[in-house]
Amino acid sequence: MVHRAQAGHPGGSLSEIDLMAALYQTTLRVRPEEPDWDDRDRFILSKGHASPGMYAILAEMGFISVEDLESYRVLGGICQGHVDMKWCPGVDFSAGSLGMGLSFGMGSAIAGRLEGSERQIYVMLGDGEIQEGSVWEAAMAAAHHELGNLNVILDRNRIQNDDFCEAQMRMFDIPAKWKAFGWNVKEIDGHNMEEIVDGLGFLKNTNDGPSILIAHTVKGHGVSFMADNPAFHGAAPNDEQYAQAMAELGEVVA
Amino acid sequence: MTNMAATRDGYGQALLELASNPKVVVLEADLGKSTKSLHFRKAHPERTVSCGIGEQNMLLVGAGLAASGYIPFASTFAIFTERAFEQMRNGVARPNLAVHVCGSHGGTHTGTDGSSAQSIEDLAIYRTLPNVIVMHPSDIVSTKILTMQLAETGSPSYTRTARNKTPVLYEGRENEIKIGKGIVLKEGADVAIVACGVMVSQSIEAAEALAAEGINATVVDMHTLKPLDGALIDRLVASCGAIVTAEDHNVIGGLGGAVAEYMTSNTYAPLERVGVQDRFGESGQADEMLEVMQISTPYIAEAAKRAIARKG
């Protein structure tokens, strides 16, 4: 997708993909044949620039077709540059600007509670994203309202647009921050499937307040020259790099 | 003696009436006592969400609720809605989620809190957003009726209410009030004064002063700035040939801007815009502020004469 469009965000798509695959395969209550099913669980990709990862999952799940992936960043295509609920089936939130998804998820969680629904709300945040102040407005409010159906997966890939997070804005003790805001916190290796599935169970079954799974990931995971490399936050591979990346990921390039 | 009441109380009354719809929810940012959502909170605490002093979060909580089939009404001071402008733009207007934002204490009329609290740009900024209805009602009755109508629109909205009392204009005239339709309060053939919010009653007074000088003015309450009642503007241009706009808002981008934009592309008449002359206010009583900002009755009357003098 990113290679074809020659634009997009491969690094964050590769860091989140194991988490998202496990979420959709093991936990999320959704119906690809009925994407607007009222009582579905909600998945809110707040780091909406990492859309290629989500589109790949939506195609795998059958919400959209594999051919639809060719519409990524193409005029009129359902796969907009940032995931958009008005364009793409299976997308619950129109993302784009960072720091917005958790607040939207809080509204979705309150709606679920008002309806007496069992549905769970999952919000994926990036680690750079939590530098946005409004994330903490939402974190404080969600704990105040004891929203046990609200869950965050934090893609802790340690890289943001310009550089490593550590260089751009140190965030110090991230788990302690969320704990201090009244959240249930668990840390996992975001590429270890056993730990991921265990962590998703923690989110689903911890309902005395909002919960966060801090997943330690590698930006550009699975592609040697992208891994842990800030240059591939928002850059497309060239033809040669694309061939190498797909070979490393075990995909056959047509 | 004219009855006086604050438009923010009309908002509070509307929420209480709307409560019979179980999908209506109310969001607050620690100003429910001021915006008057507190009555709803008292009656329906389970459908009232305190967002603390966090307006950015509040608007998107509203978006999440709207996306799940609820009808959220979120209020704070007009000025504080502005810090959530991007949330309104990207999280509410863009996905066209029907979150209804009410900014109370708008304009210089809000008075002694001073310039930091006197929003003079709110109507302009929300008018630039696709999908968003923008309103500034003039009295308690119309505020109540228009707020209640919002629940049926399915569109996001921004409504400015005022802190201080203004004359009650629409007692017994509830049927005349409709979103997007200006209301002709007085007919006259020489000039049309098109006003919104607290300036509507000022404009009626200006028309009375003009009548004493033999000048007959039409007065229109243009409570909805977007969508603008263009058909009414066309009619006013044809019947009066000169237009004055009057608003407690910057002359840039508000009602004057909206009417000027419309006339540029559709029909023409001399236009004079009464409003805040691109400057910030200061602490003062509401009536003092209208004087200081040169938007009170005499300034409207003067503008009317200038507009008439410019007729071809």
- How far apart are alpha carbons A58 and A40 in whole angstroms? 15
- Contact criterion met (CB < 8 Å) for A104 and B86: no
Minimal Cβ distance to B64: which of A96, A108, A115? A108
Which CATH number does B180-309 carry? 3.40.50.920
Percent of chain B predicted with pLDDT > 90: 98
Max alpha carbon distance in chain A (Å)?
53
- Tell me what pLDDT residue B2 has: 84
- Contact criterion met (CB < 8 Å) for B91 and A104: yes
Per residue in B266-284, pLDDT (tens digit) is 999 999 999 999 999 999 9
As a whole number, the mean pLDDT across chain B is 97
- Contact criterion met (CB < 8 Å) for B70 and A111: yes
Cα-to-chain-centroid distance, residue A190: 12
Judging contacts by C-beta atoms under 8 Å, the chain B residues touching residue A85 are 67, 95
Percent of chain A predicted with pLDDT > 70: 99
- How far apart are alpha carbons A134 and B128 in whole angstroms? 23
- Flag whether pLDDT at A252 surpasses 80: no
Residues A113-139 have a mean pLDDT of 98
Cα dist. B87→A150, A178, B111 in Å?
Answer: 20, 23, 28
DSSP B120-146: SSHHHHHHTSTT-EEE--SSHHHHHHH
Judging contacts by C-beta atoms under 8 Å, the chain B residues touching residue A114 are 25, 46-47, 70
| Best residue of A44, A82, A103, A123 to probe chain B, by most B CBs closer than 10 Å | A103
Residues 135-164 of A with CB under 8 A from B: 137-138, 140-141, 144-145
Per residue in B206-245, pLDDT (tens digit) is 999 999 999 999 999 999 999 999 999 999 999 999 999 9
- How far apart are alpha carbons B134 and B179 in whole angstroms? 9
| Strand B224-226 versus strand B133-135 pairing type | antiparallel
- How far apart are alpha carbons B252 and B248 in whole angstroms? 11
Chain B touched by A81 (CB under 8 Å)? no
Architecture, CATH, for domain B4-167:
3-Layer(aba) Sandwich (3.40)
Q: Measure A229 CA to nearest chain B CA, in Å.
A: 30
- How far apart are alpha carbons A46 and A126 in whole angstroms? 8
- How far apart are alpha carbons B199 and A156 in whole angstroms? 54
Percent of chain A predicted with pLDDT > 90: 98
Judging contacts by C-beta atoms under 8 Å, the chain B residues touching residue A93 are 67
As a whole number, the mean pLDDT across chain A is 96
Judging contacts by C-beta atoms under 8 Å, the chain B residues touching residue A137 are 51-52, 54, 56-57
- Contact criterion met (CB < 8 Å) for B56 and A103: yes
The three-class DSSP label of residue B263 is: helix
Percent of chain B predicted with pLDDT > 70: 100
ipTM of the predicted structure?
Answer: 0.95
Judging contacts by C-beta atoms under 8 Å, the chain A residues touching residue B86 are 97
Q: For residue B102, which of B127, B131, B72, B129 has the smallest C-alpha distance?
A: B72
Minimal Cβ distance to A100: which of B25, B65, B90? B90
Q: Measure A222 CA to nearest chain B CA, in Å.
A: 33
Cα-to-chain-centroid distance, residue A6: 22
- How far apart are alpha carbons B161 and B13 in whole angstroms? 13
- Contact criterion met (CB < 8 Å) for B64 and A110: yes
- Contact criterion met (CB < 8 Å) for B62 and A97: no
- Contact criterion met (CB < 8 Å) for A104 and B95: no
DSSP A222-234: T-TTTTT-GGGSS
DSSP A191-249: T-HHHHHHHHHHHHH--SS-EEEEEE--TTTT-TTTTT-GGGSS----HHHHHHHHHHT
Q: B191 - beta bridge partners? A: B217
Q: How open is the CA angle B97-B110-A141, to the nearest 5 degrees? A: 40
Peptide bond just before A230 cis, omega within 30 deg:
no
The residue count for chain B: 312
- Contact criterion met (CB < 8 Å) for A103 and B69: no
- How far apart are alpha carbons A49 and A9 in whole angstroms? 6
Domain ranges of chain B: 4-167, 180-309
- How far apart are alpha carbons B182 and B226 in whole angstroms? 11
- Tell me what pLDDT residue B176 has: 96
In which residue are the tokens 């509307």 written? B14
Judging contacts by C-beta atoms under 8 Å, the chain A residues touching residue B67 are 85, 92-93, 104, 107-108
Judging contacts by C-beta atoms under 8 Å, the chain A residues touching residue B91 are 94, 97, 100, 103-104
Assign B1 a pLDDT band (cuts: 50, 70, 90): low
Q: Measure A195 CA to nearest chain B CA, in Å.
A: 30
- How far apart are alpha carbons B85 and B143 in whole angstroms? 23
Nearest residue in chain A measured CA to CA from B71: A111
Environment class of B131 (CB within 10 Å of its CB; exposed 0-12, middle 13-18, buried 19+): middle
- Tell me what pLDDT residue B9 has: 96
Q: Measure B90 CA to nearest chain A CA, in Å.
A: 7
Per residue in B111-133, pLDDT (tens digit) is 899 999 999 999 999 999 999 99
Q: Measure A120 CA to nearest chain B CA, in Å.
A: 13
- Contact criterion met (CB < 8 Å) for A110 and B47: no
Per residue in B28-79, pLDDT (tens digit) is 999 999 999 999 999 999 999 999 999 999 999 999 999 999 999 999 999 9
The amino acid present at A195, given as its one-letter code, is: E
Assign B155 a pLDDT band (cuts: 50, 70, 90): very high
Do domains B4-167 and B180-309 share one topology? The answer is yes
Under 8 Å between Cβ of A49 and A39:
no
In which residue are the tokens 């629940």 written? B151
- Flag whether pLDDT at A254 surpasses 60: no
Q: At what angle do helices A133-144 and A101-114 cross, to 10 degrees?
A: 20
- Contact criterion met (CB < 8 Å) for A111 and B65: yes
- Contact criterion met (CB < 8 Å) for B57 and A93: no
In which residue are the tokens 């929203």 written? A147
Cα-to-chain-centroid distance, residue A10: 13
Under 8 Å between Cβ of A105 and A123:
yes
- Flag whether pLDDT at A12 surpasses 90: yes
Taking the whole predicted model, whether its pTM rises above 0.80 is answered as: yes
Chain B touched by A236 (CB under 8 Å)? no
**Residue B41: how many CB atoms within 10 A of its CB?**
17
Residues A225-235 have a mean pLDDT of 94
Nearest residue in chain A measured CA to CA from B27: A107
Residues A151-168 have a mean pLDDT of 97
For residue B236, report the phi and psi dihedrals to the nearest 5 degrees: -65, -40
